[in-house]
Structure 1
Amino acid sequence: MGQCFTKAQSDQADSDQHVEFVGGNVCPVTSKEDWDQKLSEAKRDGKIVIANFSAAWCGPCRMLAPFFCELSEKYPSLMFLLIDVDELTDFSTSWDIKATPTFFFLKNGQQIDKLVGANKPELQKKITAILDSAANSGQ
């Protein structure tokens, strides 16, 4: 449901790519160093990370972006990151991204869950389950 599998070239200028993707408490990741810094920050603050691997040209990614921003405002105890697969190609490849959007849920830098596709109800469900699990484990 709602996935992009192939890469296409965007007619947009690079500076326009994040306009509809970043908002709320969503932090764009623009380098491997940036990623490492955000994960260290999340670990220090005890936050679970939701990493959204997407692309500016991907229709389902664009459709889900406002919802992802809403979630970031609704759940400030989580860290929401956005990784553009075209900007960070090698990094995205290291995460074995086959389709966009792909969401990784990380705790202490380790993957605890994953969601492929622009499925709003499933994304909400996974976030709720992760928060319930964290609350029940006393974190």
Structure 2
Amino acid sequence: MGQCWNKLCGGETSDNEQSHPFEHASGNVHLITTIQSWEEKMSEANDSEKIVVANFSAAWCGPCRTIAAAYCELADKYSSMIFVTVDVDELPEFSTSWDIKATPTFFFLKNGRQVDKLVGANNEELHRKTAAIAESTTSSK
């Protein structure tokens, strides 16, 4: 399907991952492994009028592991947004419904609708898009 997921931002960890500095780095990154957990986060975001940043990735994906730390940092910095990671291997049909062709793929959602998208582990572009969307939502309030 694509290229990557990392369990360092709120997923389960093995004993040898316990000392990694980004493990559970943010309570604002949520691992999505069921449709129900996706729907709960979308409902929470809609109720609180928050932007969702959805990272579709896979455990075996090198680029996903590479950008995981930056994703965690963004979640810490932009606590007014909800960050989720969808494991494409746990939810293959759901990921296909989002037309995921490569991982990581990031979607920026407002009221359940896509406002932007980024395919690939481009750290600079992920930071730029996240900052721009965060700024646009605070300036429109």
TM-score between the two structures when normalised by the length of structure 2: 0.83
Aligned position for 1:54: 57
Q: Deviations over 1:54-89 (max 9, x none)?
A: 000000000111111111111100000000101100
Give the residue type in structure 2 aligned to 1:130: I
> Is residue 122 from structure 1 mapped to residue 125 from structure 2 by the alignment?
yes
Unaligned runs of 5+ residues in structure 2 are 11-23
Q: How does 1:69-108 map to 2 (within 5 A)?
A: 69-108=72-111
* 1:77 alignment partner, SS class: coil
Aligned position for 1:109: 112
Q: Please report the RMSD computed on the Cα atoms of aligned residues, expressed in angstroms.
A: 1.8
How many pairs were matched up?
Answer: 126
Shift of 1:42: 0.5
Shift of 1:18: 5.3
Aligned position for 2:44: 41
Give distance in 2, aligned partners of 1:128 and 1:6.
24
Give distance in 2, aligned partners of 1:5 and 1:82.
14
Give the residue type in structure 2 aligned to 1:72: A
Give distance in 2, aligned partners of 1:68 and 1:113.
16
Shift of 1:126: 0.4
Runs of 4+ in 1 over 2 A off after TM superposition: 4-7, 17-23
* 1:113 alignment partner, SS class: strand
Shift of 1:19: 3.4
Give distance in 2, aligned partners of 1:28 and 1:5.
18
TM-score between the two structures when normalised by the length of structure 1: 0.85
Give the residue type in structure 1 aligned to 2:8: E
The alignment-based identity, stated in percent, is: 56
